[in-house]
């Protein structure tokens, strides 16, 4: 069985930083992409960032230059470093892994940016 568990969310002031982690357990065959999505209250889930198995990255325009996605293959962990946070970044953040045999999602972690 595959399990993804996000952690690191919390309450921060505008301009602050958080580092989210996604711990992956179980066997995922042929990982193609890993990434992050977020969902704010009353809104649809939106794409945030992506990292390929070869470590190329991609970001939504709204977070480009502020967020960095990375991963540690040996520890089966993906990260999202979030800097210069804005109130509009407030959302539940979900990690996802796309493998050749399926797509997997975590349960989400709450990020709240407020003064």
47: number of CA atoms within 13 Å, CB side? Answer: 12
Rounded-to-integer distance, Cα 30 and Cα 53, Å: 9
pLDDT(30) > 90: no
Distance, in Å, from the CA atom of 5 to the CA atom of 93, rounded to the nearest integer, reads 11
**Tens digits of per-residue pLDDT, 65-91?**
999 999 998 999 999 999 999 999 999
Q: What's residue 91's pLDDT?
A: 98
Q: What percent of the chain has pLDDT over 90?
A: 84
What mean pLDDT is predicted for residues 85-99?
Answer: 96
63 phi-psi bin (left φ>0, alpha ψ -120 to 50, beta other): alpha
């Amino acid at each position: 069985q595959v399990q993804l568990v996000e952690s690191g969310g919390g309450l921060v002031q505008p301009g602050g930083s958080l580092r989210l982690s996604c711990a992956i357990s179980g066997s995922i065959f042929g990982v193609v992409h890993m990434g992050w999505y977020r969902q704010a209250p009353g809104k649809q889930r939106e794409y945030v960032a992506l990292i390929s198995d070869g470590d190329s990255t991609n970001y939504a325009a709204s977070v480009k230059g502020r967020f960095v996605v990375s991963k540690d293959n040996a520890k089966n962990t993906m990260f999202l470093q979030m800097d210069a946070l804005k109130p509009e970044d407030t959302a539940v953040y979900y990690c996802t892994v796309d493998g050749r045999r399926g797509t997997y999602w975590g349960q989400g972690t709450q990020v709240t940016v407020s003064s």
